[in-house]
Amino acid sequence: MMTLSETAVAGPSFELTEEQRMLQDMVRDFATSTLAPRAAAYDRSCEFPHDNVKEMAELGLLGVTVPDTYGGAGMDTLAYTIVIEEIAKACASTAVIAAVQNSLVNFPLMKFGTEEQKKKYLPKLASGELIGAYSLTEPGSGSDAVAMQTRVRKEGNKYILNGTKVFVTNATGAELFIVYATLDPELKSKGVCAFIIEKNYPGFSVGRHEEMMGVRASGTSELILDNCEVPLENLLGTEGEGFKIALATLDVGRLGIAAQAIGIAQACLDYSLGYAQERKQFGKAIATFQLIQNKLVEMAVNIDAARMLLWRAAWLRERGQNFTKEASMAKLFASETAMKAGIEAVQVLGGYGYTKDYPVERYFRDAKITQIYEGTAEVQKIVIARHLTNPA
Amino acid sequence: MPDILQKAITQPPEASPEGGHTQVLLDAEHLAFRAELRAFVLREVVPIAEDYERAERFPSDLLKEKMAPQGYLGIPYPKEWGGRGLDYLAYAMAVEEFSRAWGSLGIIVAAHTTLGIGPLYNFGSESLKKAWVPRLAQGEIIGSYGLTEPQAGSDSGATHTTARRDGDGYILNGTKVFCTNATHAASTTLTAVTGKDAESGRSRISAFFVPRDTPGVMVTKHEDKLGLRGSDTSTVILEDARVSEHNMLGREGEGFKIFMQTLDNGRISIGAMALGLAQCALDEGLAYAHNGLGLFKSLFAEQETLALLADIATDISAARMMLYGVAKLKDAALPHTQEAAMAKFFASEVARRATDRVLNLLGRDGGIRHDCPASRAFRDVKLCTIGEGTSEVQRLVISRELLRNYAKGENK
C-alpha cells in the first residue's frame, strides 16, 4: 500500500491511497447514518454532542495523526482533512470539535510536549477518554493575539494564571485545555507561554456559554482563570515559547477549518443539486435553467479548487516544508467558497431554503464562522501578503 | 448594541451615514417624516426588537397600540380611507427605517400595506373597499397575501387553487404557502383559477379578497425560518371556502395581471427593507471602526477597513437613489416594472454583501454572536433576495422589459 509520502516524491497525487479511500468511505458512512440525522436537533439545542464525540472516538477519529505508539491512528495530514470534510458535510459543529481535538490539542502536544506529557495525555486524547480545548482568544485580543492580558506568574512549585479567555470551542465538553498566558504584556510575543490545564485544577472554571449563529453545538464558552494553579511540569514548550507554539498550531488548525469549510460547501452543493433536479417550475426541473446551472457549476468548481489548495498544503506539510502561506490560501479560499455556497444553496431552494424544514439555512449559518475563526479572511490575506512580499 | 443605533438614528440628517443625497431628493415634508420615524423607532422599536425576535413574538401590541395611532399601517393611502395620506416614497422610507431597527417589523408592515391592502384598494369594488380598507389602513386589523403555492413559486402562473362559480359567489379550494402575517391577519388577498382560456389553453386566474373568518379558511404551519423570526409566515388552506362574487378583485381572469402589478409595488417594499438592513450593518460597522476595537491597534493597516466601509456606504447610497427614484415613478403613476425589479435586485444584493462584510469586520467582537443586530440583519436579509421574486426572476423581468422596449424602438 502506497502512502502519501511515498507518492509525494514525484509530486502531489490527485488520487487517494487505498487506505485514505477506505477511511473516507468509513467516515462518510458514519457521518451520513449517525451524525446527519442528529445535526438539526443539536443546532437547535446548542448542547454539546457527547454521543457524537464518543462514537468518533471509537472510530479513532479523535487521534487521526497521533502515532500508534501513543494510541492514535498514525495517519497523515491528508487523511485528517478527509475526516474533517466528511464530518462537516453532516454536522459542522461536530467537525469543529474533532478539528480542535486533532489539530489544536493533539498537534501541539506531539510537537512541543515532553515525553512525559505525551505519555500522560496523548493516549487518552486519541481514545477520546479526554476531550481537549484550545484557548488563545481574549475579549481584547482576537486577530491581535499578542495583545493578550491573561497573566502568569511562577510561585513555588506552580504557575498561577489569571484572566479570561473567550470563544473556546469544546469548552463545555472538554477535560483538558491548552491555554496561553503572558509573563508580562510588555514583553509582547516573547512573554507568551502555553500550558496544559486539567479541568479540575484549582481556580479554573468554564464561564458563559456563547449562543452563536452557527456551529451552535460546539460547546463554545468563556474560560475563567482565577488564581488557577498549574503544576510546573504542565508548561508546554519553554517559557516565552508560547507565541511560536500558537503560530505553528494555527497553521495546522487552518487545514482543519479549510476541510470543515469544504465539507459545508459540498453539503450545499449536494443538497442543491438534488433539489434542483426534483423541483419543477415552468414545467421543467429547475436544474435545466441556466441561472440555476450557473450556481451549481460555480459551487462545484470552487469546491474542487479549494480541495486542491488544501491537499497541496497537506502534501507540503508531509514533506516537512513550510506550508504557512499555502494553509492560509486554502483556508481563505475554502471559507469564501463555503459562504458563497451557503448563500446560493438557500437561493436555489428559494422560500423553502429560508425555512428550517431544509438543512441549507443551517449550512448558511455554519459557513460564516469559517471566515472568522483560526484567523479571519482579512488576517489570512495579511499572512499571504507577508509571504508574497518577503519570500523565505 | 442599541447605543449604536441610537447614535445613528438621532444624528442630524446632514451628518447621517446616508450622506447628503437625500437632502436633494427629499422635500421638507419627507425629511420631517423621516425624523418622526427615527424618533418613533428609537423610542418604541429598538428597545424590544431583540427580545421579540428571540421569542418569535409577533408584535401585535406594537402594531395596534403604537403604530396604528401614528397611521403607520396605512401610510400611502388617503386619509378618507383611514390612511396616513402620504405617498409611496414616504411609505418606502418607513419600511427602510423600521427594517433598520428590526427586519421583522419591516416585512410585517410591507406585507400588510402593499400586499394585504394594495390589491383591494386598487381593484376592489366600492362596497368591498368601504367595508375593509379603513379598518386595515387604520391598523385595526392586519392583512396578508397568498400567491405562492407548493408547486408555484417563481412560476406563479402555475396556480392550482381553484375558484368554482356557485350562484352569486365562488367556492375556493387550494393551498397557499409562505403567506406573511397570515396567522394574525383578518384577511388574505389571493389568486385562484377560474377557468381555462379557450384559445391558449392557459389557466384563467382571478384575484379574491378572502376574510379570515370565511368558513373553510384555515391557517396552519407557522414556518420556522432562518431569519425574520418575529414575523409570521404561514400556510392558508381553502376547503370549500365560499366568498361573494363582490369579493373578486378586478374582473374575472385579471388576477395574474393584478398580482404582477402588486408585485411591482411589493418589490419597492422589499428593496426598502433590504436598504434598512444594509444601513443597520453600516451603522454597526461605523461604530466599530469609530471605537477602534481590537483590530486597529497593531496588526492592521486601517486601509482595508476604511475601504470596506466606503464600499458599503457607496453601494447603499446608489441603492437608495434607485429605490427612491422608483417610488417617485410610482407616485407619478408612471410605468415602473423594470425600475422596481432593478431597485429590488440591486438593494437586496447590496444588503447581502454589506451584512456579510460587516460581520467579518466585527469578527468575534460581536459579529458571530446571535444577538448582535448586524448578525440578525445577516440572517434577515437573505429573504430579500428571495421574496417578491428571487434575484434570478428579477434579472429575467429586467431583461424582458429591456428587450420589449428595444423592440418598440425598432418598430418605430
Residue from B126, B304, B388, B410 carrying the catalytic annotation: B388
Dump pLDDT digits (tens) for A262-279. Answer: 999 999 999 999 999 999
Tell me, yes or no, whether A382 and A267 share the same domain.
yes
On average, the pLDDT of chain B sits at: 90
Residue from A86, A138, A222, A374 carrying the catalytic annotation: A374
Q: Between chains, do A144 and B299 touch, taking CB under 8 Å as contact?
A: yes
- Report the pLDDT value the prediction gives residue A392, as an integer from 0 to 100: 66
Residues 285-314 of B with CB under 8 A from A: 294-295, 297-300, 304
Percent of all residues in chain A with a pLDDT value above 70, rounded to a whole number: 96
Instruction: List the domains of chain B with CATH numbers.
Output: 2-137 (1.10.540.10), 143-252 (2.40.110.10), 257-406 (1.20.140.10)
Smallest CA–CA distance, residue A172 to chain B, in Å, is 17
CA pair distance A26, A59, nearest whole angstrom: 9
- Report the pLDDT value the prediction gives residue B16, as an integer from 0 to 100: 56
Task: Name which of B178, B368, B383 is nearest A368 (Cβ-Cβ).
Answer: B368
Q: Quick one: closest CA in A to B298, which residue?
A: A144
Which one of A144, A167, A213 makes the best mutation probe of the B interface by having the most chain B beta carbons within 10 Å? A213
Which one of A46, A378, A383 makes the best mutation probe of the B interface by having the most chain B beta carbons within 10 Å? A378
Tell me, yes or no, whether A304 and A317 share the same domain.
yes
Residue B339 above 90 pLDDT?
yes
Q: Quick one: closest CA in B to A369, which residue?
A: B368
Tell me, yes or no, whether A214 and A249 share the same domain.
no
Tell whether B398 is within 8 A of chain A (Cβ). no
Residues of A in contact with B361 (CB under 8 A): 378
Count of structural domains within chain A: 3
Phi/psi at A222 (nearest 5 deg)?
A: -80, 155
Q: Which three cell numbers stand for residue A94?
A: 461536530
**CATH at A100:** 1.10.540.10
Tell me, yes or no, whether A268 and A361 share the same domain.
yes
Q: What is the Cα A334 distance to its own chain's centre?
A: 13
Residues of A in contact with B391 (CB under 8 A): 347
Contact predicate A188/A146, CB 8 Å? yes
Q: Which three cell numbers stand for residue A295?
A: 450556481
Tell me, yes or no, whether A203 and A275 share the same domain.
no
Q: Quick one: closest CA in B to A216, which residue?
A: B370
Residues of B in contact with A280 (CB under 8 A): 151
Q: Between chains, do A350 and B390 touch, taking CB under 8 Å as contact?
A: yes
Tell me, yes or no, whether A29 and A122 share the same domain.
yes
Q: What are the beta bridge partners of residue A132?
A: A176
Task: Establish, for the pair of chains A and B, how many residue pairs have beta carbons separated by less than 8 Å.
Answer: 120
Question: Stretch B285-294: mean pLDDT, rounded?
Answer: 74
- Report the pLDDT value the prediction gives residue B368, as an integer from 0 to 100: 66
- Residue written as grid cell 444594509: B278
Residue B128 above 50 pLDDT?
yes
Residues of B in contact with A381 (CB under 8 A): 304
Residues of B in contact with A346 (CB under 8 A): 226, 382, 386
Q: Between chains, do B382 and A354 touch, taking CB under 8 Å as contact?
A: yes
CA pair distance B269, B108, nearest whole angstrom: 11
Smallest CA–CA distance, residue B14 to chain A, in Å, is 32
**CATH at A363:** 1.20.140.10
Q: Between chains, do B392 and A347 touch, taking CB under 8 Å as contact?
A: yes
Tell me, yes or no, whether A205 and A302 share the same domain.
no
Tell me, yes or no, whether A256 and A148 share the same domain.
no
Task: Name the nearest CA neighbour of A144 among B358, B295, B360, B290.
Answer: B295
CA pair distance B276, B49, nearest whole angstrom: 14
Residue A6 above 80 pLDDT?
no
Q: Between chains, do B294 and A141 touch, taking CB under 8 Å as contact?
A: yes
Dump pLDDT digits (tens) for B241-254. Answer: 999 999 999 999 99
User: Any residues with CB less than 8 A from the CB of B131 and at least 6 apart, and which?
Assistant: none
CA pair distance A211, B362, nearest whole angstrom: 16
Angle between helices B373-381 and B103-110 (to 10 degrees): 40
Tell me, yes or no, whether A145 and A124 share the same domain.
no
Tell me, yes or no, whether A158 and A125 share the same domain.
no
**CATH at A208:** 2.40.110.10
Contact predicate B9/B280, CB 8 Å? no
A231: domain range?
133-240
User: Any residues with CB less than 8 A from the CB of B14 and at least 6 apart, and which?
Assistant: B20, B23
Task: Name the nearest CA neighbour of B388 among B97, B151, B115.
Answer: B115
Residues of B in contact with A364 (CB under 8 A): 226, 382
Of A240, A268, A295, the domain-final residue:
A240
Tell whether B156 is within 8 A of chain A (Cβ). no
Dump pLDDT digits (tens) for A302-330. Answer: 999 999 999 999 999 999 999 999 999 99
On average, the pLDDT of chain A sits at: 94
Residue B123: CA count within 13 A, CB half-sphere: 27
pLDDT band at B73 (very low <50, low <70, confident <90, very high): very high
Of A116, A131, A146, the domain-final residue:
A131
Q: Between chains, do A378 and B375 touch, taking CB under 8 Å as contact?
A: no
Residue A8 above 90 pLDDT?
no
Tell me, yes or no, whether A168 and A250 share the same domain.
no
Please indicate whether residue A374 is annotated as part of the active site. Answer: yes
Tell me, yes or no, whether A382 and A247 share the same domain.
yes
Smallest CA–CA distance, residue A158 to chain B, in Å, is 32
Of A195, A225, A240, the domain-final residue:
A240
Dump pLDDT digits (tens) for A103-151. Answer: 999 999 999 999 999 999 999 999 999 999 999 999 888 777 788 999 9
Dump pLDDT digits (tens) for B2-34. Answer: 455 555 555 554 445 555 667 677 889 999 999
Residues 60-119 of B with CB under 8 A from A: none
